[in-house]
Structure 1
């Protein structure tokens, strides 16, 4: 029977419930996985500062994937690789956001996060990792998506049905996991990836076992080998129990 050595967990909508909390059941089963020798890797669209409190709460000292693979960490505070988004692209994405005054936007730089309320004065002075848009006006979101799909050099995904996330082309949780496997001496067939959104699809498809949350977007469920319970029902704990540890 296949032994899985690396468990890659998305945060929002996956490990975290709708209040952005880790349930005690999920935390307990993550600890069981670590005790069994499984490398548990947080794999998130969040930046490092947003992901770190979760990692610390779980007591993990393992690799991290942040900003959808834009940053790979060998362990917390130990950066292995950073892939930057071209500043000219960021300025163009920002100009597009400004044409849609009702749309929320944000961008991760290596120094921190900037958004509609607090934008970087001179974008060229920063090193950028990811740009995003959010609106529940789906026709407007689709209009933005149609436009940026024609631009070169972008990797486009989402972390909710109401947002668009943009990284440099070729950057994804999947490519980051492949790099982590190379570093750790694992094969991708030994990886379990769990997620709920389009930014998880590449990793779910590339891993030995790809699992969609019960609350995942339909496209994610179609890409997965299995579907677990929702993030409100300790779906991650079920994955660990049923597939990783098989208890």
Structure 2
């Protein structure tokens, strides 16, 4: 690892000020990707500005069916939140399936979606719930936030502060995971709420997380796994690597979608 200077910010404004005077620096959320990349000497930020200890970025608030999850909230807190489980158990289930205990206690929802790994779980939840990503500058609808592989709508120096959403009537998540990393080879998050049906796919798309409109249309007509039987999942847009080729992933997407609907009830 290359030498770097560490800074622990106590407020969002302090974090912004620290990074603005250090153009080669990086924000540190959970560090599950950044630290590993630095250890491999594939990244060499001059400074790390730690966001994990900023009180305003932590915690889960549930008011009726309105949910706010602070960006620095670790996966383990999401998985174990009784208030969140009462209105949206699917996101608790998703968080409990991320990585291993170390990752779940260190990794954060803000870090996950800002990194936007194509095999990460949270992007599917954020997109599948039609959530809003709140930053220190603006609010970004999930449909506009995820741009491509490891790419988001975040501007230079912009900090994710929270994720907000209205808990849907029903939601479910299912993934086929790599047994070593527990990253998704294919994962599908489905929801049905006041704004209709959403189905978000992670781990499989060549351009990262995406909504499958064919599945959404089918589930809007009939909320059941059987409704997905005739839906076509095109392998042309799927990832293909040593873990699974495009055709296999396309099949997994449909299987996981059916399981997600069953989990949602």
In which range does the TM-score fall when normalised by the shorter chain?
A: under 0.3
What TM-score do you get using the length of structure 2 for normalisation? 0.24
Q: Larger RCO: Structure 1 or Structure 2 (Cα < 8 Å, ≥ 6 residues apart)?
A: 1
